[in-house]
Amino acid sequence: MNGFDPDKLVVMFGMPRGGSTSMYHILDKHPGCFVPFRKETAYFSFNHHKGEAWYRGLFRDRLEHQPGFDISPQYFGDLRSIERIRELAPNAKVILSLRDPVEFIISSYYQTNKFEKKADFKAFVHGYTITGENEVLNFNFSNGYIEKAVTELAQAFGRNVLFYDFKLFREEPVRVLNAIEDFVDVNRFVSNQNYEPVKVNSTYQRNNRLLHWILSRESVISAIDLVFPRSFIKRVRLAVDKITMPGVDLSEKKIQLSDEEKSYAAEVMKSDKQFVDDILAQRRIFTGDMLDSLGGQSKSEY
């Protein structure tokens, strides 16, 4: 059937700063895949109050043969999402981009400070807030959170969760995209001949805080949806995402962290970094049907 089908749902669960915006635009061009006009629905997190009918409506243009992708990296910071996904779509497939925990927390700090000034870096490492329409979420990725999240995803979804190395996506994007195609059961379309990189929302991008604030307002999004075709909205989104791409290296203009602050992040994230490093040393793309310990060998690899 066309429209929303829980058996065709694919949830890209994060991690935040794991290339989700690029993935959204790449999959939007894939003839075998469907992405809603809202890149981040956040339905299984802070938009859950909007109700199932609202969520199903986001997929109204999905064709019967297409898996429908919900690309919402906020889910990684809100583990209530796991059970909510299972309740609505028991056969859903889940995908997680695994990023080096230290790089992840530093990149997250740079990104959030583009839009609103956050607390000092050491405080940020131990938690920050995301404000939704109906609630405020407290994200805290320290103290072994990443291992906990990965473990819970593997236990909840087994073979129906795919993990891949974010660095591999940077190095060999076609390999990762082909693995995703196989995982969601669509014919391979992406190749080295037709792949077009879409680099958006990177650490060194410029960002217009006012434009971001306007486009993140729920009333604005709803009004746009009423007036314009969703295909047009997607094209505008890509154009807006590309506007902020830098013409030069902006690394000297971004917030600078001291060596002491970076060392602090490395110490706080030490156990999670070891956990991720151990897994990715064995498999860079794998499903969640693992041995008892996630540090062990995976039973399947793409």
What CATH number does the domain containing 91 carry? 3.40.50.300
302 located within any domain: no
Per-residue pLDDT, 234:
62
Give CA–CA dist 216/213, Å, rounded: 5
- Alpha carbons 19 and 238: distance in angstroms, whole number: 14
Q: Please state, rounded to an integer, the average pLDDT across all residues of the chain.
A: 84
Give the domain range for residue 40. Answer: 6-287
Domain-embedded: residue 296: no
Residue 259, in any domain of the structure = yes
Domain count, the chain: 1
Q: What are phi and psi of 43, to 5 degrees?
A: -65, -40
What b-and-e string marks burial along 35-47, b requiring 16 or more CB atoms within 10 Å of the CB? bbbbbbbbbbbbb
- Asked if residue 265 is part of any domain, the answer here is yes
- Helices then strands, counting H and E runs in the chain, come out as 13, 7
* Domain membership flag for residue 38: yes
Task: Return d(Cα 47, Cα 129) in angstroms, integer.
Answer: 15
Q: Find tokens 């938009």 and name the residue.
A: 47
Cα–Cα distances in Å, from 29 out to 20, 26, 126, 130, 179?
15, 6, 38, 30, 17
> Is residue 1 in some structural domain?
no
Query: Which segments of the chain have a pLDDT < 70?
Result: 1, 115-119, 199-255, 290-302
pTM of full prediction above 0.95: no
Specify the pLDDT at position 190.
97
Which pLDDT score is estimated for 215? 54
For residue 299, being part of any structural domain is answered with no
- Domain assignment of residue 241, yes or no: yes
Among candidate residues 27, 28, 290, 65, the one with its CA nearest the CA of residue 161: 290
